[in-house]
Amino acid sequence: MNSPHHADRERLSGYMERLSTGLEKIKRDYSRFIDLEDEDPETFGAGHFVLYPDGESHARFAIEEHYTGTDWSDPDRLPTSWSWKAEERTRQPSGDYQWSTHASGRVQAADVDQLIDHARAWAQSVRAQTLRAESFETVSGAHRQHQRDAPGQGL
């Protein structure tokens, strides 16, 4: 199979650069809430780029590259599309935990902005969940403190 022509390589390289820049911006914008990892789907099974909630491994947003006319072993490969999936670890009846996909899709290289939008939406949901949990911890902690400080308690 023929490798892409020079113009195609330049175009695909531009899309790859746009994805890289977009993911780095998401990583900066949500740095308190998420981590971005470069991974090897052959080894880890998730994707080439994986977002995780900060300090946790119960959820992830994985992006995997797809190529035309070559595969991942080609050092000059450029993705012609990407697939993505949002996953959570769920407890199975056996007691084991397994990744389950709750949203997924595939975009062509030219639609890289859609992929970046999906990744940003996932990061926003992680931020919202984290802030809700922190708010609950603050409220319940204040409630417990108020109960301990209330006059007439323990008399």
Residue 2: pLDDT over 60: no
Read off the pTM: 0.81
pLDDT per residue as tens digits for the range 26-66: 999 999 999 999 877 777 668 899 999 987 778 999 999 99
* Positive or negative: CA dihedral 77, 42, 27, 108: positive
pLDDT per residue as tens digits for the range 80-110: 999 999 999 988 899 898 899 999 999 999 9
On whether the CB atoms of residues 34 and 51 are closer than 8 A, the answer is yes
Pairwise pLDDT comparison (153 vs 21), residue with the higher score: 21
On whether the CB atoms of residues 12 and 109 are closer than 8 A, the answer is yes
